[in-house]
Amino acid sequence: MSLFEELEQELDCLKSKNNLRRLPATHHRGREVEADGNVMLNLSSNDYLGLATDADLRAGFLQTFTPDSFLPSASSSRLLTGNFDIYTRLEERLAELFGRESALVFSSGYHMNAGILPAVSNVRTLILADKLVHASLIDGIRLSSAKCIRYRHNNYEQLEQLLSAHHAEYEKVIVVTESIFSMDGDEADLNRLVRLKRQYDRVLLYVDEAHAVGVRGEHGLGCAEEQGCIGEIDFLCGTFGKALASVGGYVVCSRTVHDYLVNKMRTLIFTTALPPVNLMWTYFIIERLAQFRDRRQHLQRLSFQLKEGLLAAGYECPSTSHIIPLTIGESGATVWKAEELQRKGFYALPVRPPTVPEGTSRIRFSLTAALTEDEISKLITTIGKR
Ligand code: PMP
């Protein structure tokens, strides 16, 4: 059998299990998505605050720069000539907002997670990671030479047992979690993790706030702000590509961690820096983050409404956030239900293995503040009883 036949067989196998993925032929039109002439409400974007499609914001941004400052490419790595002044300004502003010594910006959240862990760990490091952390974190762990043990999702009793059993064998231990989890929409108890970390020396905390930054906290800085523990998290990470309507990732950290990453982090060193125009937009949004409180509150109301609606319809719903799974179980039935919702005007997508465990296929709603309560009511009615 040729190599390509082997690949084709694998694709056929995915197809037979309803797990074959295709790049969707959709056009994003603000709150809506269009596919084959069907205009649907977009319930699958990460534009949690509705900023990406806000025409006033864009117009305001366009007024802030001249054609000369419109630079669509950095044309080299940050360590060569790509480290434009706007990087420094953005990082200093982030450090100031979070009240921390330093911040460092990366090309994406994926670069961030795939790069930090391999840079800061070695064979004498133990990584203890939540079972449900994102694929980018798994890739970071795989690229590192650390030993890794996954603890059951949000199960801090097990984490404590692992810490007490293995802590002494390693030079350092890094506990890795998300704050809002991307598939179940539930949350980590960051203060509990901080207390656990304090019981030991040489334990560091790595928190990915990809789905929480912008959405949570009085100033939109994420769950760590909401839970009052920003200063306790050694690697406080997030992405600009979701609620902040831009692109890039960041970590807020100590000056030492910052300097070390600049020297060791391969996904920072060996890639073209972000286009200055994107960094300028990110800066523009970051400056306004605290002002989006009404949008954060509206998003919370919508999330609560949908969750209550699903519970009342007989579904289980672990979510405590704006990411709300409708778990169906079997992949075929999930795809069928998603297609039905799409026919009825709601663009929601199925999430299947390997992204989620076998038997837990789901439709994943990720809500945005651009939706209305009426639209959520219609969605609940359309989903119907279990
Ligand atoms: N972390 C988490 C938890 C994510 O869900 C994602 C993207 N879905 C990323 C990181 C990657 O971020 P980015 O899209 O900026 O690469």
With the most atoms of ligand 1 within 8 angstroms of its CB, the residue from 44, 107, 113 to mutate is 113
The answer on 303 and 213 residing in a single domain is: no
Pick the last residue of a domain from 241, 261, 290. Answer: 290
The answer on 308 and 368 residing in a single domain is: yes
Tell me, what CATH number does 255's domain have?
Answer: 3.40.640.10
Q: Are 112 and 247 in contact (CB under 8 A)?
A: no
pLDDT band at 210 (very low <50, low <70, confident <90, very high): very high
Instruction: Give the orientation angle of helix 331-343 with respect to helix 373-383, to 10 degrees.
Output: 130
Average pLDDT over every residue of 81-105: 97
Domain residues for the domain of 179 are 61-290
84, pLDDT greater than 80 = yes
30, pLDDT greater than 80 = no
Rounded Cα distance, 255 and 250, in Å: 14
Three-state secondary-structure class, residue 226: helix
The answer on 272 and 147 residing in a single domain is: yes
Find, among 303, 95, 100, the residue nearest to 187 by Cα: 303
Pick the last residue of a domain from 290, 306, 321. Answer: 290
In-domain check, residue 6: no
In-domain check, residue 123: yes
The answer on 257 and 175 residing in a single domain is: yes
pTM: 0.96
Pick the last residue of a domain from 273, 290, 307. Answer: 290
pLDDT band at 17 (very low <50, low <70, confident <90, very high): confident
pLDDT band at 80 (very low <50, low <70, confident <90, very high): very high
Enter the tokens of residue 247: 């692109």
In this prediction, residue 270 carries a pLDDT of 98
With the most atoms of ligand 1 within 8 angstroms of its CB, the residue from 44, 130, 134 to mutate is 134
Residues in contact with ligand 1 by the CB-under-6-Å rule are 108-110, 113, 134, 136, 178, 182, 208, 210, 239, 241, 249
ipTM exceeding the 0.90 mark: yes
Ligand 1 atom 12, closest CA: 109
In this prediction, residue 21 carries a pLDDT of 87
Taking the centre of ligand 1 as the mean of its atom positions, its distance from the CA of residue 239, in whole angstroms, is 7
Tell me, what CATH number does 41's domain have?
Answer: 3.90.1150.10
The answer on 314 and 279 residing in a single domain is: no
The answer on 114 and 45 residing in a single domain is: no
Residue type at position 351: V
Average pLDDT over every residue of 127-144: 97
Find, among 192, 190, 173, the residue nearest to 181 by Cα: 190
Give the pLDDT confidence of 181-209 residue by residue, as tens digits: 998 999 999 999 999 999 999 999 999 99
pLDDT band at 37 (very low <50, low <70, confident <90, very high): confident
In this prediction, residue 355 carries a pLDDT of 86
23, pLDDT greater than 90 = no
Rounded Cα distance, 249 and 106, in Å: 5
In-domain check, residue 8: no
With the most atoms of ligand 1 within 8 angstroms of its CB, the residue from 105, 107, 110 to mutate is 110
